[in-house]
Amino acid sequence: MAVTAAELARYLSAELQGDGTATVCGLAAPETAGPEDLIYCQAPREQQRAAASAARVALVPPGVSLEGKTLLVVGDPKLAFARAAGLLLPEVPIARGIHPTAVIAPQARLAPGVAVGPYAVIEPGAEIGAGCQIGAFCYLGPGVRLGRNCRLYPRVTLYAGVRLGDRVVVHAGAVLGSDGFGYVRGAGGYWKFPQIGGLEIEDDVEIGANTTVDRGSLGRTRIGCGTKLDNLVHVAHNVEVGPRVVIAAQTGISGSSRIEADAVLAGQVGIADHCIVEQGAVVGAQAGVPTGKRITRGTTVWGTPARPLQRFKQQYGWLTRLPELARRVARLERRLGLLPTPAEGASDL
């Protein structure tokens, strides 16, 4: 889509400096941008890259000047760049129309404008909202409900009764509503605990490729509005994830834990069962949160077991010095006669 710099400035509530008639029809990094691509400069240290770019229009923060370019001045150029992408780069359709190989039960209800790709299966009782796109080989089980304008990429599986809000995006290979890992040990081995609850995904959630979200056992699992799950994330049964949470790849959240609004879970975080991560907390990469632990509001934690970042950094600093400290202790013990003197050329340890 092509717009003028003036139109883009109005869309982004940016201050326009320069030629408002300059055309913008794409986005790119400064080094690869053409004359009609939009670029952004987030900080003064990036000014040289932006100045050397062929792009004629740039998003910049206040106080940055780029000679010969039309500037759109905003408080957060990176955020404005992301918003501009939604205007300049229309989404590529996942499916168009109803493919003749799609298997759609007569009892399923599809609103106007729904598109279903090759070999997708939609079971009885499913309800698909207007404008949804269902990719090839997707499976939507009995009683599944999708709001408006959802996008399911190929091979997404929705078990029976899963509910998605409006504008939910689910990437390829994700499985929603599978049974939770619940067993009770008894005579003869393990007995499966009932996994008959629900799964609710609220508006504007995005779920990455090959991510799995289990249904509740007796209650429900819920993912709140605007939350973003990366690829290869696992959310177990009865987990409650609040709005605007960000969860990076290979994170696992065990059953009945609660992740509150605006929390951030970095890559490969492990959350044990019945934990609480309070609003705005940040859990650093590969951190482990033991069963029943609470991460308090607004704190940043790291390590296993997870602890406040400053404490972890202090402890890790001492950990890296352990070989040196061990040698010093050994020398002191020898001086006190507590250890034999090492042979010629031998190490202190």
Instruction: Just list the catalytic residues.
Output: 237
Alpha carbons 25 and 48: distance in angstroms, whole number: 23
By DSSP bridging, strand 3-4 and strand 23-24 are: antiparallel
| Chain-centre distance for alpha carbon 264 | 9
Distance set, CA 172 to CA 41, 94, 151 (Å) = 33, 11, 10
Find tokens 């029976």 and name the residue.
160
Q: Rounded to 5, what percent of the chain is helix, strand, coil?
A: 15, 30, 55
Token reading at 90: 């229309």
Confirm if 225 and 241 have CB atoms less than 8 A apart.
no
Rg of the chain taking only CA atoms, in angstroms: 27
Give the side-chain half-sphere CA count within 13 A for 113: 10
- By CB neighbour count within 10 A (0-12 exposed, 13-18 middle, 19+ buried), where does 192 fall? exposed
Alpha carbons 279 and 230: distance in angstroms, whole number: 19
β-sheet bridge partners, residue 152: 134, 170
